A and B are shown apart, each in its own frame.
Chain A
């Protein structure tokens, strides 16, 4: 079975721009979560989607948003990029009944 895929793998943007990241979960997984990983802050939870609905949200500003489609694929969007948004963005999917998460390789976003 294919794992979680994320596109693009690397991205360079300038301050003020916006960006959209994509995540395709493992087939059959309906829950998708997004995390931001930085050396200073570790892994921070952004949000979780289940069956196209946001089920949980972390403490990030409204510039960070997401959505989930009927096929469980998910996107996250960051508007008005700031230098501090440079990070590895990880997507994870799971069966809702088993609780462990399966992570994609991440998208490395660099904001200049």
Chain B
């Protein structure tokens, strides 16, 4: 079975500071990893993904994430946070070796960026 853990329900950072939202995963095969963001009363928006290749992937709005196979982690990062980054962030994993098409999401992390 595949699973995702987001160990922090809430992350608070000051505007201009770097931010990290943590994600660890478990799959039996090769992981395909994703980050999504959800603004209030809206659906999820795709931010970035890791399928293969470079461990550091860059996505929308200046976000990036680093795939670490040994630590089974895929942490979301941004060098300088903006107030507008405040939202709910979800990490997701898909294992196409054993479970094509099924995405498993973490419970989400609420990011609050204070001015």
A residues sitting closer than 8 Å to B (CB atoms) are 4, 31, 33, 35, 42-43, 45, 48, 50, 55-56, 58, 90, 92, 99-106
State the Cβ distance, A62 to closest chain B Cβ, in Å: 18
In the complex, which residue of chain B has the Cβ closest to the Cβ of A31? B101
B42 touches A105 (CB 8 A): yes
Scan B50-64; emit 1 where CB is below 8 A from any A CB, else 0.
Answer: 010000000000000
Q: Supply 9 A–B pairs (Cβ within 8 Å), ascending by A.
A: A4-B43, A33-B101, A45-B105, A48-B102, A56-B101, A99-B51, A101-B36, A101-B103, A103-B45
Q: How far is the CA of A43 from the CA of B37 in the complex (A)?
A: 13
Q: How far is the CA of A104 from the CA of B51 in the complex (A)?
A: 23
Q: B42, B49, B100, B108: which contacts A100 (Cβ < 8 A)?
A: B49
Q: Does B80 contact A (CB under 8 A)?
A: no
B residues sitting closer than 8 Å to A (CB atoms) are 32, 34, 36, 41-46, 49, 51, 90, 94, 96, 99-108
Chain A hits for B49, CB < 8 A? 99-100
Q: How far is the CA of A31 from the CA of B72 in the complex (A)?
A: 28
State the Cβ distance, B80 to closest chain A Cβ, in Å: 25
State the Cβ distance, B58 to closest chain A Cβ, in Å: 14
Known contacts A45-B102, A56-B102; can you find 14 more A-B pairs with CB under 8 A? A4-B43, A31-B101, A43-B105, A43-B108, A45-B103, A48-B101, A56-B100, A92-B44, A99-B94, A99-B96, A102-B46, A103-B36, A103-B43, A106-B43
Chain A hits for B41, CB < 8 A? 105
Chain A hits for B104, CB < 8 A? 45
